Chains A and B, each alone.
Chain A
């Protein structure tokens, strides 16, 4: 950058001061209670010693649910990414103006619908004799006998994808819209199909935005309680349900917090990869 000599933006101390209030909030509202959780996961109530018994018991009891949580969240994230690229891609490259504006109006509705409402909607919509199957049967697309309930892991994935896709699409479509159109036009003029332009030219340029959106969604999905609770709280279920259950049913903070720390690790791993990646990019740019 050419402006290295002119001082732009706050200096080190000012910058720290500016960040301080928000860091304090996180400290009091998250780190402090978080320390509570870690203590209760690792410290034996009776003796006060450090131990990992809570983790052993957690794996012993909930290994299925741990696996299930990872699979559901990863699958949902992949699906969200796929649909977000497809919709945003059509919004950017679509040639039928009417279809584009219709899609633009359509796709973002679930964004404004809270998780808890989405869960409620899906709970009645996806049931065996819910509206979805009723309409499919009514329109002759499906035999009444083959109707099944989707209120299991599929219901959770469907609800997550339904609710989070618009969020990622909104970010990705925004990024795509601000791309330099000339490269896209050039690609089109050279005879590349729209799909190729999307995959080879457009997506790489919005990769960072896509990653941010997907990571935020991933993290949100890991910590939502209402959706798994309302759609499928049976075995296997997601870790948030087990945590709430441990606390509510046994008053057992130790194992609940052990499970909490596990799901924190799932987030931590992804966040770390992202940070390393973006650190590399920033480093390369300088």
Chain B
């Protein structure tokens, strides 16, 4: 009897021990509108690190999918809670792409917090102040900067094109060997199209910086018609990953990819280690991803602490550059010091810092961006 009683007591104590911290735990809800690797960055790397530094806190991350679509989900969640008049919203930290972050700021869904965290002054890039023409100064911290480039198989392509003009000539000679994912399924294809418009619309600077003139798109029929012709000689791929996957299986030998995804896939053995990158001139777009915290986040202080850790030089060096192959979000000078020279170099083998400075472009301001997408839909794909 005694043993039974003891057993019961032991069991209930155990149950208490097990359940108590679980119920006392604060959950920090992070929504990431990015690729799976961005979600894994938090589940596998940043989350555990933050949990260790803040006992009793559990980081819970949800991936809402890549591209604007994923960020739109976050925007919608916040908007709906705001519209429903909720006092406390169920997201603490959001990771979102430029365009939608701009919209979130415009709609008053994000808090102005940069001056309240110590890493705020380490940010120097223009993209921390404006996101596709929207003033986001103070509302965001760049998580990393990402760049698109052309990946190719040097075993098959000995002399890769270096510009959009050369690429056009190349695809005429090698039909179906170049592939991209259109505009509806991932940003790498869209980035390629934007680069095309920078090259052939005649006024890349205005598209990037404004001012917006709705009449401008009327002059785009020639580049769009050319793109339609170009599309006849290429293969379409199913998504950002689809392009890499088709490269991987030899179905295409060249295509636009995100640099970070490319390196991660190589590290995972999912694409051949031989493949190389090339940044086409006059330039291809890249973008940062932003950390933000909603105006009515439940754990506001914790969220700021989380973003502070995420944008500290050590984490930017070790996590962003070394482990995940992104370009740092904060000023590179602060990061380079915390990194091994070899690691720093690895990131810049195919695309040199000079290339990146000259040919790494921002995405267009939001209204032109929509015009490009709609122009493509109407004149190229329909």
Query: Are chains A and B touching in the complex at the 8 Å CB cutoff?
Result: yes
* Residues of chain A whose beta carbon lies under 8 Å from any beta carbon of chain B: 60-65, 123, 127-130, 149, 151-152, 229-237, 241-242, 244-245, 247-251
Query: Which of B118-126, B193-201, B351-359, B372-380 interfaces with chain A?
Result: B372-380
Which residues from A are CB-within-8-Å of B236?
A: 152, 232, 234
With CB as the reference atom, state the residue of chain A lying closest to B381: A235
With CB as the reference atom, state the residue of chain A lying closest to B180: A234
- Add 15 more A-B contacts to A64-B381, A151-B238 (CB < 8 A): A60-B378, A61-B378, A127-B245, A127-B249, A129-B251, A233-B184, A233-B185, A233-B239, A234-B185, A241-B184, A242-B184, A244-B69, A247-B72, A248-B67, A248-B73
**A265 to B266, alpha carbons, bound, how many Å?**
47
With CB as the reference atom, state the residue of chain B lying closest to A59: B382
**A219 to B254, alpha carbons, bound, how many Å?**
39
Which of B185, B249, B380 is in CB contact (< 8 Å) with A128? B249
Which residues from B are CB-within-8-Å of A231?
A: 238
Q: Kindly identify, within residues 326 to 382 of chain B, every residue whose CB is under 8 Å from any CB belonging to chain A.
A: 370, 373-374, 377-378, 380-382
**B142 in the interface (beta carbon within 8 A):** no
Which residues from B are CB-within-8-Å of A235?
A: 182, 380-382
What total of A-B pairs shows CB separation below 8 Å? 73
**A123 to B238, alpha carbons, bound, how many Å?**
9
**Also in contact, A61 and B185, with CB within 8 A (given A151-B238, A233-B239, A249-B68):** no
**B250 in the interface (beta carbon within 8 A):** yes
Minimum CB–CB distance from B378 to chain A (whole Å) comes to: 5
Minimum CB–CB distance from B376 to chain A (whole Å) comes to: 9
Q: Across the interface, do B184 and A237 meet the contact criterion of CB distance under 8 Å?
A: yes
Which residues from B are CB-within-8-Å of A232?
A: 236, 238
Contact string, B245-258, partner A, CB cutoff 8 A, digits 1/0?
11001110000000
**B181 in the interface (beta carbon within 8 A):** yes
**A137 to B69, alpha carbons, bound, how many Å?**
39
Q: Across the interface, do A129 and B184 meet the contact criterion of CB distance under 8 Å?
A: no
**A128 to B235, alpha carbons, bound, how many Å?**
11
Q: Across the interface, do A65 and B382 meet the contact criterion of CB distance under 8 Å?
A: yes
Which residues from B are CB-within-8-Å of A61?
A: 374, 377-378, 382
Q: Across the interface, do A149 and B103 meet the contact criterion of CB distance under 8 Å?
A: no
Minimum CB–CB distance from B344 to chain A (whole Å) comes to: 36
Q: Across the interface, do A249 and B249 meet the contact criterion of CB distance under 8 Å?
A: no
**A242 to B236, alpha carbons, bound, how many Å?**
17
Which residues from B are CB-within-8-Å of A249?
A: 68-69, 72, 184, 373
**A251 to B103, alpha carbons, bound, how many Å?**
10
Minimum CB–CB distance from B120 to chain A (whole Å) comes to: 29
Contact string, B58-86, partner A, CB cutoff 8 A, digits 1/0?
00000000011100110100000000000
**Also in contact, A62 and B72, with CB within 8 A (given A128-B249, A234-B182, A241-B184):** no
Between-chain CB contacts (< 8 Å), 29 pairs: A61-B374, A61-B377, A61-B382, A62-B377, A64-B382, A123-B238, A127-B245, A128-B249, A129-B249, A129-B250, A151-B238, A230-B238, A232-B238, A233-B181, A233-B184, A233-B238, A235-B381, A237-B184, A244-B69, A245-B69, A245-B184, A248-B67, A248-B69, A248-B72, A249-B184, A250-B370, A251-B72, A251-B75, A251-B103
With CB as the reference atom, state the residue of chain B lying closest to A229: B185
**A231 to B245, alpha carbons, bound, how many Å?**
13
Which of A62, A235, A245 has the most chain B CB within a 10 Å cutoff? Answer: A235
With CB as the reference atom, state the residue of chain B lying closest to A235: B381
Which residues from A are CB-within-8-Å of B68?
A: 248-249
Q: Across the interface, do A149 and B382 meet the contact criterion of CB distance under 8 Å?
A: no
Minimum CB–CB distance from A250 to chain B (whole Å) comes to: 6
Q: Kindly identify, within residues 217 to 243 of chain B, every residue whose CB is under 8 Å from any CB belonging to chain A.
A: 235-236, 238-239
With CB as the reference atom, state the residue of chain A lying closest to B189: A234
Minimum CB–CB distance from B132 to chain A (whole Å) comes to: 13
With CB as the reference atom, state the residue of chain B lying closest to A234: B236
Contact string, B154-180, partner A, CB cutoff 8 A, digits 1/0?
000000000000000000000000000
**A129 to B181, alpha carbons, bound, how many Å?**
18
Minimum CB–CB distance from A215 to chain B (whole Å) comes to: 29
Which residues from A are CB-within-8-Å of B239?
A: 233
**A64 to B103, alpha carbons, bound, how many Å?**
31
**A127 to B248, alpha carbons, bound, how many Å?**
12
Minimum CB–CB distance from A153 to chain B (whole Å) comes to: 12
Which residues from B are CB-within-8-Å of A63?
A: 382
Which residues from A are CB-within-8-Å of B246?
A: 127-128
Which residues from B are CB-within-8-Å of A64?
A: 381-382
**A245 to B2, alpha carbons, bound, how many Å?**
67
**A60 to B238, alpha carbons, bound, how many Å?**
24
Minimum CB–CB distance from B206 to chain A (whole Å) comes to: 21
Which residues from A are CB-within-8-Å of B72?
A: 247-249, 251
Q: Across the interface, do A62 and B382 meet the contact criterion of CB distance under 8 Å?
A: yes
**A250 to B238, alpha carbons, bound, how many Å?**
21
Q: Across the interface, do A234 and B184 meet the contact criterion of CB distance under 8 Å?
A: yes
Which residues from B are CB-within-8-Å of A244?
A: 69
Contact string, B35-62, partner A, CB cutoff 8 A, digits 1/0?
0000000000000000000000000000
Q: Across the interface, do A128 and B251 meet the contact criterion of CB distance under 8 Å?
A: yes
With CB as the reference atom, state the residue of chain A lying closest to B374: A61
Which residues from B are CB-within-8-Å of A152?
A: 236
